[in-house]
Structure 1
């Protein structure tokens, strides 16, 4: 059995403003008297308000931008009813998968609280017991909460310790809310409207999925040794339950195959003996993945199968590339340098920084991304930096980079600001966000490395008397994440640049021309139709 999408919940929803009642915070919102309007998911509340004639395009002028500030300072209720047209298998586990919510939300299914969200950079998966689903009509309610109410209790300490104002649309919000960082107004904004227009809502897909109850939960593919004639690769597999709970003899099989070849390039099986199963495969005459301009981009299909004897329990597939990347920071004579070496060849990186294609809902339809990729191809890109002020891209986006030979420089999402490394909640949220990001990207063939942040600030080093802040927690969290998850190349923990203090890193070896900027500005115009 493979993972199966039972039902996509994208498309038409209903949306209404909601007056939050403090003493009912753990109770499902009363929706009977709300003033509903049509909404789209994925999307953003601003788009729905404009289409309903309740809001002027906030990017039409500075006045309109200020007039739209109330949207992110309001609680909102999304609701959708759906019917299940197929019977639910007794041998499956079910989950509600939400790829992203901006930002704080409670999720209710048929009057029962499924879970909560607190980070727009993360995806969430909530277990759904089969008894929670009805044979007929089901109702999903998502209570998206006022950004600023959720951080108000931390505002005074942030002002004192981080020296940020209490203005929630500026540095305070940027410090405390884990969402698209450049959206906040920090003396400037991408459109220079004099304020930040913060998106809010369900901005990524929502779907109901089914899994086998015993399944492959994680897998990690890496090239261990590579020569012109042979590649030794490693596949690490982790199940969703510890071996002590399983009580049966299980086997995992790994098959590597090129799409245009009938015979597998390599096959290996291993018994499940612990928390992780380690499979080693040897490939003869491997076809190497190269950045654009240096060779082709052959992609292998990796199939992993979990067996109980001869019974297939679970199967997953992913595309992988055979390559080795090294970050060279010192020449043999000891001189400092910085360049990438792919499959032993020094690479001239040519590319851009990517900013989100939409200022409010962050992502857009795939045709917008295809336009970006055509521009990258026309300008001979082979490198793209996923900027730390931006947002997490989709698996489809990374797959396209694999196919086109565009290396990914992935930033962690810290940008031009101080952050509350004194707050255990923030540190843990950032840690989980970082772990999820690395797990997603570590086996992407186009991935080259991650950088800890972009243009971070240091306080207390310029004679102002501000408290010392060095971003050490961000570095520690990123570093521990990398060491534990074992990416196949040396990670970079330096920031790309440092504000208010001495240089503390190397700027990206890219022509950061931001060709996507012009397109992003065009897309920020909210369409009324």
Structure 2
């Protein structure tokens, strides 16, 4: 199973978690007893399956999900393999019961306050302690705390959690509601929408204890939260306020100390008087000569390793560590003469956003390891990104995700978890949303990576453009209720919570603000342009459709063959097998891919060629859009393509598949997202070349443009010294293609533009002058040499004939290549490093070469 790790979950208590309190140590104001181990589970409703005993208790992992628990007990096959998905839908239709026995120490019993805490429950659950109901839950995006002091007893205690099927709950809620609520079967549930299936993801409606669970006890004082806010920055000081939220049952004196780990520097030590009740205490302090936090590509993402200590007069203590970045951030979204721009100013500098949309890394959210979080953020950094959008149909990510973004200089556009739907307009749902928003805002607001909040993904567009009212036959009076409910959540509850709890952070009600068929989508705020792909428009349409900020656009491509192997055996490699169709969730996905290949005169006949061709066309189309958008700055100030990653092995819009195998798109993005872009766009008889710089200073260099023939000969078109201004886009040259190449030579030539800076850094871009399927190509004889290198192998390739889009891959194993889908020129050897743990013989047996040949 792809990335369902058959190991016990390792719980990370992040440095930035909301209360980093260790075990039960003397003098600590809050004590915790972990209840992670020793859980069991069983079906709570009759399961008509011979391999599952409904009365038997099986071992469960916490954190975990029922699907992964069933798999680890050998009760179901790999959910991702073949067509197993459709045969496992009964799991999401069943109620499940989890239980654990535990004992508590006398010290805990003596505490004045004792809570049973679940940091994550998915989703509809009843909690029982020693046979008595403690409470119930209905939102997987909340931490749940239950006062359990009266129900705890000496000796053995038993906690049970009964999960109700979210699908059955939807059927019950929707039947009783009285009128349709447009969207999907997730609309009533505060649960990850993608669990119900998406056009890139399977339908696995999960349940389970998805985060740590523990007994928390305290007597007189309970620190709740620390909020950091940079009030102002000048040339010599950063003025910061720390607001401590503390609950106390009595009046007593305490000392708060704020300092920096490692350096031993103490910024402030202040005496305060704690008052009864939940109170807020402001502690202003300054950092002299602050090092600013910058996004990746502009400077260091400097982190101050701050600590906060509270010591009471009775010698009780508490400490929290918060890595913090000093910076200012402003999102500009005010009307101008054209429409309404959307761009980010970091430390007073307008910054072009380069990034992608991020979805959960796994269908079962507890199965993502810390290392996989590092890999995905490293991919963003190595692809020269500076922003990730956390999409609203998934989950609010774990602390490690935001910490890695903060340490790596990756800004986060954070959606609230609403997508492609309207939502119930009743008071109970609104209150659940209010609590969720307050909890998540407080959890995430201290991360320097957090750039902005967005209310939802495409709900406004859906209401106004997807004909929901007509297709669902919603009466006018009920339509008014739904729209008023929408306004209540996205124009009142969420922005009010952001303004109160995260003042100064920008809130956007919805993305996009206008559907892609409306002219305002190109002039106002963020845009999701899906005329290419959904509308089957040619990729050249991206040259015309340049908005103020492009936050979604994409083309599909196949995953690596090693990922296909995880759900399909080699003997099933046909176009298109049942397994391939099961791992394509768009209703016309393969037809659309074939249509875009045909537009470039490509007609693959084998799975190997289909994988290769789909990836180079995806890279071509999205690359064209990126160039059109970046060269249009400052009109357009952001590019976030759909999508960075996958949650299972699938054909999708991603640049990296579920195993982090880079598609051709990701290598293209890495080049096009560099701090200086050489943009070459060939359209019919026109060739225009731009230089675009994200640097904060002017850059001098030499620009060259050459015509290269497939034989290796070249003809210089221009060579000149050029200075590209800071934060600018400048046209270098525009000329007819016919002025430098004869018509009959277009099929055997490329135009190559280079910019070499005065410090020697080379930026390059190469474009063909005709469709890929019309190129005059001959079969190349590529020689490959392999030698062992650190963490893998060095591969040297040389050819006597031009080979375009050379792809290296392993037939069964996942690998990381330093470069791929490159052009191999005659007598110009290329060295590639491959990260792999295979032995030499296995590596040689698996390494394959593919290139474009017609």
TM-score after normalising by structure 1: 0.83
Deviation at 1:12, TM superposition (A): 4.5
CA distance in 2, matches of 1:250, 1:110: 39
Which one of 407, 419, 424 corresponds to residue 420 of structure 1?
424
The alignment status of 1:496 with 2:512, answered yes or no, reads yes
Where does residue 488 of structure 2 map in the other structure? 473
Deviation at 1:377, TM superposition (A): 2.4
Please report the RMSD computed on the Cα atoms of aligned residues, expressed in angstroms.
3.1
The alignment status of 1:59 with 2:62, answered yes or no, reads no
Which one of 37, 49, 61 corresponds to residue 58 of structure 2?
37
Where does residue 378 of structure 1 map in the other structure? 382
The residue correspondences of 1:91-170 to structure 2 (distance < 5 A) are: 93-129=113-149, 132-134=152-154, 136-156=155-175, 158=177, 160-163=179-182
CA distance in 2, matches of 1:477, 1:262: 42
The alignment status of 1:8 with 2:34, answered yes or no, reads yes
The residue correspondences of 1:73-92 to structure 2 (distance < 5 A) are: 73-84=93-104, 87-88=107-108, 90=110
The alignment status of 1:435 with 2:438, answered yes or no, reads yes
Structure 1 357/235 Cα, relative in aligned 2: closer, same or farther at 3 Å? same
C-alpha deviations, 1:16-54, integer Å up to 9, x for none?
11139xxxxxxxxxxx98222222222211222233343
C-alpha deviations, 1:69-109, integer Å up to 9, x for none?
22122111112223457843745643332121111112223
Where does residue 487 of structure 1 map in the other structure? 503
Q: Do the aligned residues in 2 keep the contact of 1:305 with 1:312 (CA within 8 Å)?
A: no
Q: Do the aligned residues in 2 keep the contact of 1:100 with 1:120 (CA within 8 Å)?
A: yes
Larger radius of gyration: 2
Q: Do the aligned residues in 1 keep the contact of 2:237 with 2:288 (CA within 8 Å)?
A: yes
Deviation at 1:249, TM superposition (A): 3.9
SS of the counterpart of 1:491?
strand
Where does residue 219 of structure 1 map in the other structure? 226
Structure 1 271/491 Cα, relative in aligned 2: closer, same or farther at 3 Å? farther
Q: Do the aligned residues in 2 keep the contact of 1:268 with 1:280 (CA within 8 Å)?
A: no
Where does residue 23 of structure 1 map in the other structure? none
The alignment status of 1:450 with 2:444, answered yes or no, reads no
SS of the counterpart of 1:473?
helix
Q: Do the aligned residues in 1 keep the contact of 2:362 with 2:648 (CA within 8 Å)?
A: no
Q: Do the aligned residues in 2 keep the contact of 1:287 with 1:322 (CA within 8 Å)?
A: yes
C-alpha deviations, 1:207-231, integer Å up to 9, x for none?
3334453122122110011112111
Where does residue 653 of structure 2 map in the other structure? none
The residue correspondences of 1:217-256 to structure 2 (distance < 5 A) are: 217-241=224-248, 246=250, 248-256=251-259
The alignment status of 1:19 with 2:45, answered yes or no, reads yes
Q: Do the aligned residues in 2 keep the contact of 1:15 with 1:38 (CA within 8 Å)?
A: yes
CA distance in 1, matches of 2:332, 2:464: 32
CA distance in 2, matches of 1:139, 1:189: 41
SS of the counterpart of 2:392?
coil
Deviation at 1:519, TM superposition (A): 6.6
The alignment status of 1:178 with 2:190, answered yes or no, reads yes
CA distance in 2, matches of 1:125, 1:105: 13
The alignment status of 1:398 with 2:402, answered yes or no, reads yes
Where does residue 68 of structure 2 map in the other structure? 47
Deviation at 1:318, TM superposition (A): 2.2
CA distance in 2, matches of 1:109, 1:238: 30
Q: Do the aligned residues in 2 keep the contact of 1:452 with 1:494 (CA within 8 Å)?
A: yes
Where does residue 200 of structure 2 map in the other structure? 190
Structure 1 33/300 Cα, relative in aligned 2: closer, same or farther at 3 Å? same
Q: Do the aligned residues in 1 keep the contact of 2:342 with 2:525 (CA within 8 Å)?
A: no
Structure 1 433/206 Cα, relative in aligned 2: closer, same or farther at 3 Å? same
Where does residue 263 of structure 2 map in the other structure? 261
The residue correspondences of 1:274-285 to structure 2 (distance < 5 A) are: 275-285=279-289
The alignment status of 1:292 with 2:308, answered yes or no, reads no
Q: Do the aligned residues in 2 keep the contact of 1:162 with 1:418 (CA within 8 Å)?
A: yes
Q: Do the aligned residues in 2 keep the contact of 1:6 with 1:210 (CA within 8 Å)?
A: yes
Q: Structure 2 unaligned runs (5+)?
A: 1-26, 47-52, 528-550, 552-637, 651-656, 660-854
Q: Which stretch shifts more, 266-275 or 232-241?
A: 266-275
C-alpha deviations, 1:370-414, integer Å up to 9, x for none?
221222222122211111011021122222222112111110011
SS of the counterpart of 1:219?
strand
CA distance in 2, matches of 1:367, 1:8: 24
Q: Which stretch shifts more, 266-275 or 137-146?
A: 266-275
Structure 1 332/56 Cα, relative in aligned 2: closer, same or farther at 3 Å? closer
Say how many residue pairs are matched.
493
Where does residue 366 of structure 1 map in the other structure? 370
CA distance in 2, matches of 1:362, 1:418: 28
CA distance in 1, matches of 2:39, 2:150: 23
SS of the counterpart of 1:511?
strand
Structure 1 300/239 Cα, relative in aligned 2: closer, same or farther at 3 Å? same
Where does residue 199 of structure 1 map in the other structure? 206
CA distance in 1, matches of 2:383, 2:395: 23
Where does residue 349 of structure 1 map in the other structure? 353
Q: Do the aligned residues in 1 keep the contact of 2:31 with 2:218 (CA within 8 Å)?
A: no
CA distance in 2, matches of 1:152, 1:501: 34
The alignment status of 1:69 with 2:81, answered yes or no, reads no
C-alpha deviations, 1:284-305, integer Å up to 9, x for none?
2112221122222332244334
CA distance in 2, matches of 1:43, 1:372: 21
CA distance in 2, matches of 1:349, 1:460: 28
Q: Structure 1 unaligned runs (5+)?
A: 21-31, 165-170, 525-529
Q: Which stretch shifts more, 175-184 or 515-524?
A: 515-524
CA distance in 1, matches of 2:215, 2:307: 24
Q: Do the aligned residues in 1 keep the contact of 2:499 with 2:505 (CA within 8 Å)?
A: no
The alignment status of 1:517 with 2:529, answered yes or no, reads no
CA distance in 1, matches of 2:437, 2:409: 25
CA distance in 1, matches of 2:642, 2:43: 40
Which one of 314, 320, 334 corresponds to residue 316 of structure 1?
320
TM-score after normalising by structure 2: 0.53
RCO (CA 8 Å, sep 6+): is it higher in 1 or 2? 1
SS of the counterpart of 2:60?
strand
